[in-house]
Amino acid sequence: MYLSHLTSLLALALAVASQDTSIRKVDAAFAAANLPANLDITFKPTALLEVSLPQATGPPITLHAGIQVPRNGNTDTAGPPTFHVVGDVGKGPFVVAAVDPDAPTPQAPTSAQIRHFLGGNFFNHGGLLKNTTPAISEFRQPTPPAGSDAHRYTFLLFHQSEAFASQTLVNANTSVSLFNISQFAAAVDLGNPIAGTFMLVAPDPTTTSA
Ligand SMILES: *[C@@H]1O[C@H](CO)[C@@H](O)[C@H](O)[C@H]1NC(C)=O
Ligand SMILES: *[C@@H]1O[C@H](CO)[C@@H](O)[C@H](O)[C@H]1NC(C)=O
C-alpha cells in the first residue's frame, strides 16, 4: 500500500538523516534537559542549527538535540564540526558558541562552563556556515572524566553584534574553564541565541572509573 511504503521511506530517511527537523522539538529538548535554566539563557529558537561531526570512515554524525554520541577515542566526537543553519536568518555574520555546563560532573560542575568553541564571522552560504576568520576558541573534543555521567555539550548560534568584533574579553589564551555564555553574550551584545542543539557524551567505557 502506498501509505505504508511512504512511511517506511520516511523511517529510512529519518534513520539516515537524524538531524533536527522541528524547532518546537529542539525547544522541548532544551527545556527537558534544563539547559536554558542551567545556561541562564533565553532560548526561543527561530531556526535550526545543524552540527555535523566528520568521521574517519563513513558519513558524519549530524546531531539532533539530546542525541547520545559515543566519545569513542579520537573518532566520533573529535571534530572539528561543520555548521549549517536551516531557516530565514539572513546572510550573517553569526557567532557560534559551544559550552559544557557539566564539568567535571553534572552533579558538581565546579569548572563549568567549559568553552568548547567560540567563533565569529560565520556567513550563510545556502545554509552552510563558513567563517572568514579563525575561531577565537577552536573546537575542543569532549573529555568527560572517568566515572562522570554524560555531559550536555551545547551549541548555540547568535547574530553577531558590532561589539563582538572588537571584544577583548576572550582570546585564544583565555582559560576555557569558568566561561559563562550568558554573561559573555550580554557583555558583547549578542542577544539571545537564534538556534541551538546539544549532544550527550559520556566517558569512554574503556576508561576506568574514578
Ligand atoms: C597568546 O600567548 C602567546 C604566548 O605568550 C602570544 O604569543 C600570543 O600573542 C597570545 N595570543 C593572544 C591572542 O593574545
Ligand atoms: C553566569 O552569569 C549569570 C549572570 O549573567 C549568572 O546568573 C550565572 O549564575 C552565571 N553562571 C555560572 C555558571 O557562573
Q: Where are the domains of the chain?
A: 2-201
Does the beta carbon of 72 lie inside 6 Å of ligand 2?
A: no
pLDDT band at 26 (very low <50, low <70, confident <90, very high): very high
CATH superfamily entry for domain 2-201: PEBP-like (3.90.280.10)
Q: Is 109 helix (H, G, I), strand (E, B) or coil?
A: coil
Whether the pTM exceeds 0.85: the reply is yes
pLDDT band at 207 (very low <50, low <70, confident <90, very high): low
Nearest C-alpha neighbor of 154 from the set 105, 190, 102 = 102
Q: Whose CA is nearest to atom 4 of ligand 2?
A: 183
pLDDT band at 1 (very low <50, low <70, confident <90, very high): very low
Q: Where are the beta strands (DSSP E) in the chain?
A: 48-53, 61-62, 67-68, 82-86, 94-100, 114-125, 128-131, 151-159, 195-201
CA of 109 to the centre of ligand 2 (A): 13
Q: Percentage of residues in the chain with pLDDT exceeding 90? A: 82
Does the beta carbon of 180 lie inside 6 Å of ligand 2?
A: yes
Does the beta carbon of 168 lie inside 6 Å of ligand 1?
A: no
Joined grid coordinates for residue 131: 567563517
